[in-house]
Amino acid sequence: MNGRIEVLPDPAALARHVAEWMTSAALAAKDSFRVSLSGGSTPKALFALLASPEFVGRFPWPRVSWYWGDERFVPYDHPESNYRMTREAMLAKAPVPPSNVHPVPTDGTPDAAASRYEQTLQAAYGAAVLDPGRPLFDVTLLGLGPDGHTASLLPGEPVLQERERWVAAVAHGRPEVRITMTYPAIESSRQVAFLVAGKEKAAILKSIRAGGSEVPAARVRPVGELVWFVDRAAAGDA
């Protein structure tokens, strides 16, 4: 598999380890620090921990900007909204400047919303073309679906071939329309971290670790470091 793997005992230990890792990385940055977030239960535990008394006073909130790797095309208050989950778990509980929060637009048409989010990313980056020597993100968090998808890069969907656009709408493959960053945007990161927990992920992770897998998650090739933070159950050790 691409990247290195770190196995933690359980989801709580995984969340704590990644919280320390993210805090150290953000504190080490000299200037602004851009993070691309993932949805799901494993990141939710991480977000809650960052906003907890243990971390909230240590994390450099004023210079960290938050973006989302993918989003369901639903209102921000919808139960399935990744933005809502992150807001409730972390953003509403920590001293986050509102101007540092950049959710995916979910109004208008999906294609227009994807285009608007691409423009948001390009404005933050200061250019319309990605330079491998100057990553868009400092940290990109990703999850792993049992089918091998990551963000909303879904198996068999045309978005997997997109190399020009940074953000695209995904109209098929799931009950609801999704908006996702494409491989070029996801891979433009100093550090990309997969967070993988639970025995339901063991089979797909085993396939990826064996090498040769063509599922979307296995095809991520960041310009920076790639690390897999997994718990024992996902690693097949429990």
The whole-model pTM stands at 0.97
Helix intervals (H) in 110-210 = 110-125, 183-187, 202-210
Mean pLDDT along residues 66-82: 97
Q: Which helix (H) or strand (E) holds 225?
A: strand 225-231
Which tokens hold the place of 211? 């090498």
- pLDDT attached to residue 172: 87
pLDDT tens-digit readout, 32-47: 999 999 998 899 999 9
> Is residue 237 scored above 90 in pLDDT?
no
> Is residue 223 scored above 80 in pLDDT?
yes
Give me the phi and psi of 124, to 5 degrees please.
Answer: -65, -40
Average pLDDT taken over every residue of the chain: 96
CATH code of the domain covering residue 47:
3.40.50.1360
- Residues 6 or more apart from 50 whose CB is under 8 A from it? 19, 22, 23, 56, 59, 90, 94
- Count the Cβ atoms, other than its own, within 10 Å of residue 9: 13
Mean pLDDT along residues 209-232: 96
Orientation of helix 41-50 relative to helix 11-28, angle to 10°: 50
> Is residue 204 scored above 80 in pLDDT?
yes
At 16, the pLDDT band (50, 70, 90 cuts) reads very high
Give me the phi and psi of 179, to 5 degrees please.
Answer: -120, 130
pLDDT tens-digit readout, 154-196: 999 999 999 999 999 999 888 899 999 999 999 999 999 999 9
Mean pLDDT along residues 61-79: 97
- C-beta separation of 123 from 65 below 8 A: no
Q: How many domains does the chain have?
A: 1
Buried b (16+ CB within 10 A) or exposed e, 191-222: bbbbbbbbeebbebbebbeeeebebbbbbbeb
Q: What single letter denotes the amino acid at residue 110? A: P
Angle, CA of 83, 88 and 93, to the nearest 5°: 120
| Sheet with 137-142, side-by-side order of all strands | 4-8, 225-231, 189-196, 137-142, 33-37, 64-68
- Domain range for 92 is 4-235
Percent of the chain with pLDDT over 90: 94
Mean pLDDT along residues 92-116: 98
